[in-house]
Structure 1
């Protein structure tokens, strides 16, 4: 009897091993170990990366180590130097490919990055219901809250102003020390407009105190969306139903962006990028309930443009196989890749000619060269 039980146990273990090995074989070069970077513990991006790592472990036997960091450089440096494979990032992916902000220094410049997918999130302009502001155009001359040293939030706010043909010169910019303070500024009557995500505690407090209104970005306003995407070509319209003052019956027409953006180096092997993208799709049912918005990792939404950087060819191969990638996606990707290559070429020329400049002078000169390179690309 004991021998029989032992034999059954051995067979069971063998079948488990075969099943695990088979899963790895079917994954087309799925690595056995990977290192990922993400935002700090407590961030939704870290929680979702952890859930996906757990799903990969269960399904493929992969071991994943996640390195959290509170800074853009801290999340990207391990990817640049090959010590990490995937970053669960925010708009720093866009900044890194454009050579903006922290990346406008001789140490960095436009980085050769690619993406696998990015979860869809919404961002909007919120005002108090009693403020007498009904559209983005009405924001002209009003107090707009901007956070200090937060280029990601500030970029989105600039883009939404551009939707109505406005810039910071057309409003009264009120700078707050933190992003949280910008969101609280409306309830405290320290600003008239804030740019934010929809489901924060401060927005729910505003809805309870003064009422809340989200300023619509009409998806049919082609000129408005062209101006918006001239600020940064990574946003698209979204009808948001989750958040303060929102519901299925009362949605707002806002701006979609991606977070986390699953970012890799351009030199990741095509078969690896293909395997990981496929695994993200096939294990979706395991991790989709990790956070309130994790269902937005559905590949038909998360793996299509626009996004912060060009898609990796290996990811595109899988997306074509499942019918998610179309001609419009390919056209967008080719244009985004041309933009990245133009900026990298302009950077290379500038560095060769101006290696003796101080950091501030260097950043100012790069700003001019970058605008020139983009203008020339637009004329081609």
Structure 2
């Protein structure tokens, strides 16, 4: 009995020592919304793995923490493929302001989003948004690019709708709840969709045309695809439903230590089940496709990990 007690005490002491010695790093994410959910899940899974301690660094939007990662003030950040590509290349949202110190760590999941409306509104298509209250984000913000891309699929512009100024995504979600807006960008399976439905009544996603709309969306937001989510049994999906989306990426400052990046990747690579348990948004996260983002620079430690696993795309 004394031996068992001694062994248990020693094991506990080892766990405490490991936790105390784990390096603390920060992960840029948003306060609330889908990105906030993803950031919290990553931080929890990576911290639980024990090699690093990850603290979410919450800001109002991704545009606020991307420069913080680029400047080395925090180690990691998450964003969709279009915004990350714009930041690295200094185009689009980041025109003339390249973030030269960002490097890719992993592709996470496909962020499947769309335009959410209340069923009672009678809005059945993007063309029906004409004359309705639509969020108007600051020029050249991510929300601005998304809304302009969506309207363009129906040959609409801001001139064809009633613009309602919005500061960020949480205020947009609230706008659909309280009637300030008639539509909102939303991610399938996210808490925001469920919250809106609980507060304002039944919701539905407007459907896009895979053949006609995908090219238009991609021309404004590089990397954007149209996904068929018909039959997914998620709130807001009724009948044939096709929504837009893009891969979500984890990136790091290029001087983030190799051992920290490797610890982060390893925790995610081995944590599929734990991540999926946090939200159905993770159902398109596949460890063997964590290196599928192409055309962007990878952190050397990430490249080494994926090369060892045989996951780096050829070329």
TM-score past 0.5 threshold: yes
Give, in angstroms, the shift of residue 86 of structure 1.
0.8
Give, in angstroms, the shift of residue 312 of structure 1.
3.9
Determine if contact 1:75/1:89 at 8 Å carries over to the other structure.
Answer: no
TM-score normalised by length of structure 1: 0.61
Give, in angstroms, the shift of residue 34 of structure 1.
4.1
Q: Residue 277 of structure 2 aligns to a residue in which SS?
A: coil
Change (3 A) 1:286 1:253: same
Aligned positions of 1:138-157 closer than 5 A: 138-139=127-128, 141-143=130-132, 145-149=134-138, 151-157=141-147
Determine if contact 1:288/1:295 at 8 Å carries over to the other structure.
Answer: yes
CA–CA distance in structure 1, aligned partners of residues 41 and 57 of structure 2? 14
Aligned positions of 1:23-34 closer than 5 A: 32-34=22-24
Q: Which moved more, 1:81-90 or 1:94-103?
A: 94-103
Determine if contact 1:122/1:254 at 8 Å carries over to the other structure.
Answer: yes
Q: 1:304 aligns with which of 292, 305, 308?
A: 292
Change (3 A) 1:9 1:89: same
Q: Residue 79 of structure 1 aligns to a residue in which SS?
A: helix
Q: Deviations over 1:247-302 (max 9, x none)?
A: 6xx4521111345x312124556675455323311133334323443444433566
Q: Find the counterpart in structure 2 of residue 168 from structure 1.
A: 157
Q: Find the counterpart in structure 2 of residue 363 from structure 1.
A: none
1:215 equivalenced with 2:215 (yes/no): no
CA–CA distance in structure 1, aligned partners of residues 4 and 307 of structure 2? 48
CA–CA distance in structure 1, aligned partners of residues 41 and 172 of structure 2? 31
Q: Deviations over 1:315-349 (max 9, x none)?
A: 3444455455445xx5xxxxxxxxxxxxxxxxxxx
Q: Deviations over 1:27-72 (max 9, x none)?
A: xxxx941422333555554454444344334434323333322244
Q: Find the counterpart in structure 2 of residue 265 from structure 1.
A: 253
Q: Deviations over 1:148-176 (max 9, x none)?
A: 33822221122223334x25166224223
TM-score normalised by length of structure 2: 0.71
Q: Find the counterpart in structure 2 of residue 315 from structure 1.
A: 302
CA–CA distance in structure 2, aligned partners of residues 62 and 271 of structure 1? 9
Q: Find the counterpart in structure 1 of residue 196 from structure 2.
A: 202
CA–CA distance in structure 2, aligned partners of residues 64 and 128 of structure 1? 37
Q: Residue 286 of structure 1 aligns to a residue in which SS?
A: helix
Determine if contact 1:235/1:306 at 8 Å carries over to the other structure.
Answer: no
- RMSD across aligned C-alpha pairs, in angstroms? 4.3
Determine if contact 1:207/1:244 at 8 Å carries over to the other structure.
Answer: no
CA–CA distance in structure 2, aligned partners of residues 42 and 191 of structure 1? 19
Determine if contact 1:145/1:195 at 8 Å carries over to the other structure.
Answer: no
1:124 equivalenced with 2:107 (yes/no): no
Change (3 A) 1:253 1:312: farther
Aligned positions of 1:84-123 closer than 5 A: 84-89=74-79, 93-99=84-90, 103=94, 109-112=97-100, 113-115=102-104, 116-123=106-113
Change (3 A) 1:11 1:142: closer
Which structure has the greater CA radius of gyration? Answer: 1
Relative to its length, the structure with more strand (as a share) is 2
Q: Deviations over 1:135-194 (max 9, x none)?
A: 44x348443502333822221122223334x25166224223454665576787776654
Aligned positions of 1:5-84 closer than 5 A: 8=7, 12=11, 32-40=22-30, 42-43=32-33, 45-72=35-62, 74-84=64-74
Q: Residue 74 of structure 2 aligns to a residue in which SS?
A: coil
CA–CA distance in structure 1, aligned partners of residues 311 and 176 of structure 2? 41
Q: Residue 135 of structure 2 aligns to a residue in which SS?
A: strand
CA–CA distance in structure 2, aligned partners of residues 187 and 74 of structure 1? 26
Note the residue ranges of structure 1 that are not aligned, 5 or more in a row. 22-30, 331-380
Q: Find the counterpart in structure 2 of residue 378 from structure 1.
A: none
